[in-house]
């Protein structure tokens, strides 16, 4: 059994954690790229897509001239660790053709882990909640559309009034 299989087997006994993802695309058929990313997330072992926001068109940010973005947020339940969820998101980006060559440049797909339950993570390659999501209307508006909870919780915890 590989380390990944061992980690996944151990995680399967745990309750899923509710998470939020931000997705964006501004190259080619952006709607198709977002749909394919969501389909691949939902087909991934240990991840279930629970909700998806409407599409939002937003201007690009940064110094690179490029087309507007199509952005969405998604709520997922996962038994993966925060690091494994990030790794799966990055793998899907690569599978869909994402190339990281220009910071803030155009992209076929971008998938950010925004929130992982009620956990805080502060590692060199992952900070949760996402440190800049509060500054980004293209995250906050679609996220508000699909989140009716007052705070993030694991799926099996009762929601407080």
Q: What is the largest CA-CA distance in the chain?
A: 48
Instruction: Give residues with Cβ within 8 angstroms of 105, minimum separation 6.
Output: 62, 64, 66
- Whether 21 and 114 have beta carbons less than 8 Å apart is answered as yes
User: Tokens 């909870």 belong to which residue?
Assistant: 149
Judged by DSSP in three states, 139 sits in helix
For residue 16, give both structure tokens.
Answer: 């899923």
For residue 139, give both structure tokens.
Answer: 């995250």
Residues assigned a catalytic role: 98, 107, 110, 112
Q: How far apart are CA 150 and CA 161, in angstroms?
A: 8
Neighbour-count burial of 125, counting CB atoms closer than 10 A to its CB (0-12 exposed, 13-18 middle, 19+ buried): exposed
């Amino acid at each position: 059994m590989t380390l990944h299989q061992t980690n996944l087997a151990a995680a399967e006994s745990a309750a899923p954690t509710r998470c939020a993802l931000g997705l964006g695309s501004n190259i080619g058929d952006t709607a198709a790229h977002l749909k394919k990313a969501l389909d691949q997330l939902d087909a991934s072992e240990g991840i279930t897509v629970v909700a998806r926001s409407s599409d939002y068109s937003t201007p690009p940010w940064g110094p690179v001239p490029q087309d507007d973005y199509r952005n969405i947020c998604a709520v997922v339940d996962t038994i993966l660790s925060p690091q494994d969820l990030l790794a799966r998101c990055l793998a899907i980006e690569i599978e869909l053709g994402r190339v990281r060559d220009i910071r803030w440049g155009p992209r076929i797909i971008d998938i950010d882990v925004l929130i992982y339950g009620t956990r805080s993570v502060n590692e060199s390659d992952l900070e949760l909640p996402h440190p800049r999501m509060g500054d980004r209307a293209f995250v906050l508006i679609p996220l508000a559309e699909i989140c009716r909870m007052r705070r993030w919780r694991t799926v099996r915890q009762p929601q407080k009034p």
